[in-house]
Amino acid sequence: MRAEEVGLSRREYEKIVELMKRPPNDLELGLFGALWSEHCSYKSTKALLAGLPHSGADVVQGPGENAGVVRLSDDVEVAFKVESHNHPSSVEPVQGAATGVGGILRDIIAMGARPVALADMLRFGTDEASQRLRAGVVRGIGLYANAIGIPTVTGDIGFADTYRSNPLVNVLAVGIRAPNHRINASTACPQHYLVLLGQRTGRDGIHGASLLASRDFTHSSEDLRPTVQVGDPFLGKLLMEATLEAVLGGFVAALQDLGAAGLTSAVAELCHSSGVGADLWLDRVPLRQQGLSAYEIMLSETQERMLMAVGAEHLDAVIQICKRWDIPATVIGQATASDDLRLLQDGVEVGCVKPRWLVADAPRRSVARAWWDGLDQSGAHRRVDPPMFSSELLLKVLGHPDVRDRASVYSQYDSMIQTNTVYGPEHEVSVLRVKQQAAGLALAVCGSGRWAALDPYAGASAVVLLALARIAAQGGEPLGLTDGVNAGNPDNQASYEATAALVRGLADAARACQVPITGGNVSLHNETDSQAIWPTLMIGALGRHPHPLRPVGEALPEAGAQLFLINPAPPDWGGSVAAELVSELCTYPHPSLQKAHHVLTTMQHWARREHPGSVRTIGVGGLAATLVRFLAVSRPELGIDIQIAEPGADKTGRFYNEAPLQWVVVVASDQVLALQEYWDRAHIAIVPLGVVTDDATLTVDKRYRWTRSDLLGVWRRS
Amino acid sequence: MPQFEAVVTIELKPDILDPAGEATGHVLQQLGYPLEQLRIGRHITLTVQAADVAQAERLVGEMAQNLLANPVMETYQVQVKAG
Amino acid sequence: MKIGVVTFPGSNCDADTLEALSVIGVPVRHLFHEERDLDDLDAVILPGGFSYGDYLRSGALAAKAPVMRSLWVAVQTRQLPVLGICNGFQILTEAGLLPGSLRANAHGEFRCAWQTVRVTAASALFPGLSAGELLRLPIAHGEGAYYVASGELGQLFGDHEAWLQYVDDQGMLSVWANPNGSVANIAGVMRGSVAALMPHPERAMMAELGSTDGRRLLQAWVDGVRGRTFHAS
């Protein structure tokens, strides 16, 4: 077997020979090929990601483990992370998306946490085939999430031609655990048995994630595609229950899920984090099909499997629990005091490598400090002035698939199971109670789409600000962020620089807002025939909600209430849906990070008050879409009458501007003075917009009028 | 044009996991049946208009390839009964 | 009095159902699909979920579990009250304890939403609920289209066995209010001591989560069980 066949370069092969002091055999070469792949090693981006802020008062577990963990209270810790399944979903949308859900749930379970919520962040093309792909992906997410019984509580979806050959399927999961049930992969000791739980191993996706997700698609790459992995939420549910029961019983020393690169990755990660070696008895691995080679056993990506390190005294207890849940559990090896991972088949050593080589020693692309420091802008700058205000544009914006009501997607997901969902997917931020706790969770997800198309730095930082603005609108205290970086081929210099600018924007915004990034995912090679996607950052923001059973309202209270725009940005419509519809893609406004932390905490404290009124955050679709969303959830007789101060083309800019850190607040007239004083005192601009009416109409400047039913008819058409 | 009845039998490729088959087989084993393996497929019957058997086979084969089966995961067989 | 809640492999609303019963304040026993002894129980709930992954047909594999044999005997010999919710409904039809069957939603998709349902008639199984009463409850299912052969439909309504129907917010029966293609908008069926419904009452236990109508429904059923137990002892 040659290095190229497992995706390694000549230089990487030479490094392997240097480490091993001999040429690897085929099996060993396969292990390196999988773990040194872009997907597993992050070889192109590790140095970039080193620039992200990771620490914070509430961080229990930062990046490096299966998921980040933050502290909600003295009794509850929250694990959360985003994961991509772009390439598998492109090949087989239903199973690709389903196994993506299964995979991220096992990451959460591997931290000893019980999953309580899921969110999906999706990007598709605009042609017919992409619509079929979307239907399949949504079906796949529901197929797994609904059956395993984890509510999908929020999400984000966007469409653009750039995603036609490379759809994005990012899924985020949240789980909770008690501090005394902390577990991860780093606490295995010599002599511990290695127990493999779950599905019997088959020829599923040999080299699936490692090779498939580490190469571009070309029209001739069909035959590279490995056997599709099929998700089994039923077995996933049993595996989840058995694993958590064993963890709660105190029977598990260390825990690692099997994902990309299967057993190889799981064993190597567990050994490396724990500082142990291991003997692996491959002939004991339960198989679904006869005749699997050692190579296939080590690299199979069969789903629904977990690896546990278990002390001899607890082995029986673990086996009994698995028996009760009717899932196979087999001792397949033992941790050792050496630093070797020895692979044995029927007593014969068929391979031997050091876990460190596989996990930590892949050659990495380095980053020049000066280049990184200068990366605050990238791409072409294209400005287009908006046209004069007109009444036709609003209906076009509302009908745009990125702005439209998402109900046709989320009604296919069970969002209420577990009975914690106070605000589900029909809201712009999800609010969950945590049983027996005063504090709850606020979860906001969003992705960059066209914001980052021309200026990835600006788009990425804006997405961070938008997610945090939604948490602040609920009075939530931000606990952490998880990032999904999706970009093109890192060997293509333009794609690499775009990725770097995206990561730099993420880093700067998170640092400016003083919120740690506790973990995330990078998916590169979203490129087909040298056409890369727009670099796309998906963000999940998790906050501590002060009173989850009384969330801040998102509806209009009653006629006579007054609307205000908080922290208005300059009326620049760059990067907006409206601009794309009218003229062309133009550059998103560069967000100012200087005041971001102050603005966010000011909103957070306002929203925590007894009577904050109703609050909505401006995002994709701008002020226009925000006003219509108010109407959608309010009593049918209510309307909105606003005046926009800006004249001429700036009126259009104000109405459709998508800059982050802007909110619309609606308060009863006796609260107006308190609201204005509060924001004046903080030296943050607050602009009166208008009043709530009882004429079921949206009116702008007394001149432009749309009935509520016309607006919602367009917005809800799926 | 003459009509032909056709049957398309769709099965998962041998290497693809069949969760439904596994679970169903497991329950039958628990009920005491001496079952070795069980895999679940689909059986689709169609009536098509075609000039002859060969054209009917070609048409149904196309339908199977384009829509009825998922070629990424499944194989199919077409049987056409002479009209 | 004690109510059993059964966990089949793949049940996922068992914890929510147990919690709902604890809110109502009823002693419960959580039992596994392999248990055979139901003698200590005054009633049993089959909760929602995807037992055996809904593979083959939803409810079909769970209907063969050991606990279902005992349940069948208890229903025949001592008219044990049984409540099936969602997947529990599917299991009860597959086990032959309720007439009809549940097919894939007519639109072909899983659907999670708030739905208004109407109680068709007062019954001894739900003494707190009166005819015409409207309840707002969540639905969450992919195979909820109730089906019976057309000849049986008359009996279902004649004997008030079709006890719950999907309606619009004003309580009107219409095809628009039917979320899944159920025949005659049927959302719940009862026969003898066995009752079932597709909506999830255990998710509608507090106003902050959308509705307390599920609590009313479960309370009524528990009152019915309690009344029976009282008269029997």
pLDDT at A179 over 90: yes
Region B58-65: what's the mean pLDDT? 94
Which residues of chain B approach chain C closer than 8 Å at the C-beta? Answer: 19-21, 23-24, 27, 31, 40
Task: Count B/C contacts: CB-CB distance under 8 Å.
Answer: 21
Report pLDDT for C162: 97
Domain A183-209+220-362 belongs to what topology? Phosphoribosyl-aminoimidazole Synthetase; Chain A, domain 2 (3.90.650)
Tell me if A183-209+220-362 shares its fold with A553-718. yes
Which residues of B fall within a CB distance of 8 Å from C56? Answer: 20, 23-24, 40
CA distances A497 to A270, A312, A489, A502, C60, Å, are: 33, 51, 10, 8, 55
- Reading the block at residue C63, the tokens are 């209907």
Domain locations in chain C as residue ranges: 3-232
Distance from CA of C117 to the nearest CA of B (A): 33
Note the pLDDT tens digit of each residue in A13-36: 999 999 999 999 999 999 999 999
Note the pLDDT tens digit of each residue in C53-105: 999 999 999 999 999 999 999 999 999 999 999 999 999 999 999 999 999 99
Among the residue ranges A157-166, A285-294, A699-708, the one predicted with the least confidence is: A285-294
Note the pLDDT tens digit of each residue in A374-404: 776 655 678 888 999 999 999 999 999 999 9
Nearest residue of A to residue C53 by CA position? A234
Please report the beta strands in A434-532, taking only residues with DSSP state E, as ranges in sequence order: 440-447, 477-486, 517-523, 527-528, 531-532
Report the domain count for chain B: 1
Query: Residues 6 or more apart from A117 whose CB is under 8 A from it?
Result: A150, A151, A152, A153, A173, A174, A420, A430, A432, A441, A443
Report pLDDT for C37: 97
Active site residues of A: 39, 85
Report pLDDT for B26: 92
Report the SS3 class of residue A444.
strand
- Whether residue C64 lies within 8 A of chain B, CB to CB, comes out as yes
pLDDT at A567 over 80: yes
Residue A590, Cβ neighbours under 10 Å: how many? 18
Query: Of all residues in chain A, what percent carry a pLDDT higher than 90?
Result: 86
Are A655 and A704 contacting, i.e. CB atoms less than 8 angstroms apart?
Answer: no
pLDDT at B44 over 80: yes
| Whether the complex's predicted ipTM surpasses the cut of 0.85 | yes
Question: What class has domain C3-232?
Answer: alpha beta
Among the residue ranges A496-505, B11-20, C95-104, the one predicted with the least confidence is: B11-20
Neighbors of chain A with 3 or more C-beta pairs under 8 Å: B, C
- Reading the block at residue A453, the tokens are 């198309």
Rounded distance, CA A610 to CA A613, Å?
Answer: 9
Which residues of A fall within a CB distance of 8 Å from B16? Answer: 204, 227-228, 230
Write out the residue range of the structural domain in which residue B38 sits: 3-81
- The mean predicted confidence, pLDDT, of chain A is 94
Region A514-534: what's the mean pLDDT? 95
Which residues of C fall within a CB distance of 8 Å from B23? Answer: 52-53, 55-56, 61
H/E segment holding residue C196: strand C194-197
Report pLDDT for A380: 60
Supply the CATH number for residue B20's domain: 3.30.1280.10
- Terminal-to-terminal C-alpha distance of chain A: 51
Residue spans of chain C under pLDDT 70: 230-233
Note the pLDDT tens digit of each residue in A58-77: 999 999 889 999 999 999 99
Rounded distance, CA A451 to CA A588, Å?
Answer: 5
pLDDT at A1 over 90: no
Report pLDDT for A3: 85
C200 is catalytic: yes
Does the annotation place A553 within a ligand binding site? no
Report pLDDT for A693: 98
- Provide the residue type at A367 as one letter: V
Residue A571's pLDDT band, with cuts at 50, 70 and 90, is very high
Query: Residues 6 or more apart from A385 whose CB is under 8 A from it?
Result: A649
Query: Of all residues in chain A, what percent carry a pLDDT higher than 70?
Result: 97
Report pLDDT for B67: 86
Which residues of A fall within a CB distance of 8 Å from B22? Answer: 232, 235
Report pLDDT for A217: 67
Residue A18, Cβ neighbours under 10 Å: how many? 9
Nearest residue of B to residue C54 by CA position? B20
Report pLDDT for C3: 98
Q: CATH number of the domain at A553-718, please?
A: 3.90.650.10
pLDDT at A221 over 70: no
C109 is catalytic: no
Domain locations in chain A as residue ranges: 183-209+220-362, 553-718
Answer whether B15 sits within 8 Å of A204, measured CB to CB: yes
Report pLDDT for B15: 85
- Whether residue A328 lies within 8 A of chain B, CB to CB, comes out as no
Rounded distance, CA A297 to CA A303, Å?
Answer: 13
Residue A226's pLDDT band, with cuts at 50, 70 and 90, is low
Note the pLDDT tens digit of each residue in A439-464: 999 999 999 989 999 999 999 999 99
